[in-house]
Amino acid sequence: MTLSYLTHLECSYTGKEYEAGKPHNLSEAGKPLLARYDLDAIKGSITKGELAKRDEGFWRYREFLPVAKSVNRVSLGEVVTPMIPLKKMARKEGHTGELIVKDEGRLPTGSFKARGLCLAVSMAKEFGLKHLAMPTNGNAGAALAAYASAADMRTTVFCPDDTPRVNIEEIAFQGADVYTVNGLITDCGKIVGEGKEKVGWFDVSTLKEPYRIEGKKTMGLELAEQFGWELPDAIFYPTGGGTGLIGMAKAFDELEAIGWIGSKRPKLIVVQASGCAPIVKAWEEGVEHAPLWENATTAAAGIRVPAAVGDFLILRAVRETNGFAIAVDEKDIFDSWREVARDEGFLLCPEGAATYAAYRQAVKTGQIEKTDKVVLFNCATGLKYPMASDSKTIDRTKTIDYDQF
């Protein structure tokens, strides 16, 4: 049974069309390809009421996705990720609106990378590909390894050598050949690109194939449905390659085209670390492309991406929604991580903590109204990251001084 309403692919820069039924990387112009659908047919095939009866995680949006045959859908038990209010943190900032975290750490492999890699691997299965490769700062590699193993594909993954050990071990444990590289993710990406002809693997790097965007697009579909088809006022998104921000903007446009939402858009807000903020710099300077950020540094590894192939798409989405780009200092990221965990009992990841630090900064500067409905994206479970320990010890063989408690 054919399920897909995908019609063609389109160069995001030139508009040139490409055939949908075969694997692609970048367009001839070296830019990301975007999947295009018969939106009128989607409109006639599914209603909001019918959608509400489904319980298949993000596969419930199958009409909006590119996989043509259900047998090629790879699944590891995806869920619709929950919306968690941070009421104490909002009160602390004098925020009378809503402050909500969308917790992507509940997905398989513990991060939102599961969305994009699930779709990329499913399409690779549909195309009969056998060997996939990518550079990663950790979570994307884990998702690729897991989904590719489920689909009986070989994977080769390259990580910067300071990637958190738990990520490297997770990638290897789930079946990938993983290599650490003495450099940044861009250096790893160069190895993947050069190996395409020499080894024969297919490159599933961020935005270098069309379907990771489609997986990340489901974040926007979920948000719209969870908010009763009325979008929030602002979305703070931790931005490295920016696939999810681009995907959400695409989702909102498709939903408007079929009449499920209106023209209102949330402010899309790029959050980066001050030690690696190429998109912030480009936004501040009013340019279309972000030059390579030299000597990128931040312990929030997921947003340590010194150059993004889809930089112009990220900046376009921010500007078209009257959003902005903001950089936060390393201390603010890790202070926020601890503060939210201690006060709310919610363990963000460092990249998610960066969105809270950015929100707090934006409220102070008036870039966010105190009555706004705000969504922060927590892109992974905080359990994947090393935490400072404040634990103490007790010697059970000695008299215990209970006054210390």
Q: What is the reported pLDDT for 3?
A: 77
Mean pLDDT of 232-240: 97
pLDDT digits (tens, 9 = 90+) for 192-223: 999 999 999 999 999 999 999 999 999 999 99
Q: 83-107+211-384: which CATH topology?
A: Rossmann fold (3.40.50)
* Statement: residue 389 has pLDDT above 90: no
Rg (CA), the chain: 21
Q: Distance between CA 142 and CA 150 in Å, rounded?
A: 12
52 burial via Cβ count (<10 Å: 0-12, 13-18, 19+): exposed
Q: Which helix (H) or strand (E) holds 381?
A: none
**Dist CA 30 CA 26 (whole Å):** 5
The conformation of residue 370, written as its DSSP 8-state character, comes to T
Q: Which residues pair with 31 in a beta bridge?
A: none
Q: How confident is the model at residue 2 (pLDDT cuts 50, 70, 90)?
A: low
Q: What is the mean pLDDT of residues 240-255?
A: 97
Contact (CB, 8 A) for 61 and 226: no
Helix H, strand E, coil C: the string for 68-87 is CEHHHCCCCCCCCCCEEECH
Reply yes or no on whether the pLDDT at 186 is more than 80.
Answer: yes
Q: How confident is the model at residue 386 (pLDDT cuts 50, 70, 90)?
A: confident
Interval 41-62: pLDDT, tens: 999 999 999 999 998 899 999 9
Domain coordinates in residue numbering, the chain: 83-107+211-384
The structure's pTM equals 0.94
pLDDT higher than threshold 90 for residue 390: no
- Whether the Cβ atoms of residue 403 and residue 126 lie closer than 8 Å to each other: no
Angstrom distance (rounded) from CA 371 to CA 394: 48
Instruction: Find out whether 132 and 145 touch, Cβ atoms under 8 Å.
Output: no
3-state SS assignment for residue 2: strand
Alpha-carbon separation of residue 255 from 38, 51, 263, 357, 386 (angstroms): 12, 13, 10, 31, 39
d(C-alpha 133, C-alpha 145), whole Å: 10
Sequence letter at residue 33: L
Span 157-172, mean pLDDT? 93
Q: Which residue has the higher pLDDT, 138 or 117?
A: 117
pLDDT tens across 78-125, in order? 999 999 999 999 999 999 999 999 999 999 999 999 999 999 999 999
pLDDT digits (tens, 9 = 90+) for 293-350: 999 999 998 999 999 999 999 999 999 999 999 999 999 999 999 999 999 999 999 9
Measured between its terminal Cα atoms, the distance across the chain in Å is 65
Cβ neighbours for 42, distance < 8 A, ≥ 6 positions apart? 5, 63, 64, 254, 258
In which residue are the tokens 């449905």 written?
225
Q: How far apart are CA 27 and CA 13, in angstroms?
A: 9
